[in-house]
Amino acid sequence: MQGEKHKADEAAIRRLDEEWGRAASTQKLDAVVGFYAHDGSLVWPGAPAVHGTADIRASWKKMMDISGLNLRFTPERIVISDDASLASDFGKVEFGHEVDGKPVMEIAKYVVVWRKEKDGWKVLYDSYNLNTEA
Reduce the DSSP state of residue 17 to 3 states and report it: helix
Mean pLDDT, the chain, as a whole number? 94
Q: What one-letter code names the amino acid at 100?
A: D
Contacts of 61 by beta carbon, 8 Å cutoff, 6+ apart = 29
Q: Where are the domains of the chain?
A: 4-130
Q: Answer yes or no: are the C-beta atoms of 107 and 94 closer than 8 Å.
A: yes
Reduce the DSSP state of residue 89 to 3 states and report it: strand
pTM, two decimal places: 0.92
User: What are the pLDDT digits (tens) for 47-98?
Assistant: 999 999 999 999 999 999 999 999 999 999 999 999 999 999 999 999 999 9
CA distance 24 to 38: 18
Output the pLDDT for position 130. Answer: 86
CATH number of 4-130: 3.10.450.50
